[in-house]
Amino acid sequence: MIRIVWAAIALFTGFVTAGSPLPAYSQVAFAQGEPMILPVDAQPLVVDASTGQHKFTIEVAATDPQRSAGLMFRDDMDDDHGMLFVFERTRRLSFWMQNTPMPLDLIFINENGEIVAIRWGKPFSTDSIGPLTPARFVLELKAGTAQKAGITEGDLVRHPIIDAIAGAR
């Protein structure tokens, strides 16, 4: 019976990791406490706020391994850079800051590209961070960036990934 359980675990692990888009070096680095660095997306993400348009270069975390690693182990990030987390469907989302040494703004965005909540992540916290309102995307920025830029709930976020789901506005 124990062999069957271990065989099932090995098989499941193979299915989970076989299709992983992370290069082998990224998986090893993450396991050793190194940050995952994804390619910078060619298109900037734009937030249409009452204070004007704010552009950010972003990395896109669209797979389970990428979303799990996120910005863990990163010590710093430029003010105009972030990570966009893309989920398959709109639902209640929650994050934590385990292994994340820098504070972050977590901007929750619905399927229409509207900011539904902004939360703040404290370094290394394992507290659950998330609104009651369902979201489809989360944009993580350096802490204080949203406030400095005047980004608030209700503002619209544009990026080809978000626009494809939201449809033409």
The dihedrals phi and psi of 136, each to the nearest 5 degrees, come to -115, -25
Flag whether 149 is in a domain. Answer: yes
Considering its fold, how many domains does the chain have in total?
1
- Cβ atoms within 10 Å, residue 6: 10
Flag whether 109 is in a domain. Answer: yes
| Domain containing residue 106 | 35-166
pLDDT tens-place values along the chain, 169 residues long: 433 333 333 333 333 333 334 443 344 445 568 999 999 999 999 999 999 999 999 999 999 999 999 999 999 999 999 999 999 999 999 999 999 999 999 999 999 999 999 999 999 999 999 999 999 999 999 999 999 999 999 999 999 999 999 984 4
Flag whether 107 is in a domain. Answer: yes
At 33 the pLDDT is: 87
Flag whether 27 is in a domain. Answer: no
At 4 the pLDDT is: 37
Flag whether 61 is in a domain. Answer: yes
Flag whether 5 is in a domain. Answer: no
Query: Residue 118's domain is classified under what CATH number?
Result: 2.60.120.1140
Flag whether 139 is in a domain. Answer: yes
Q: What CA–CA distance (Å, rounded) separates 122 from 95?
A: 11
At 75 the pLDDT is: 95
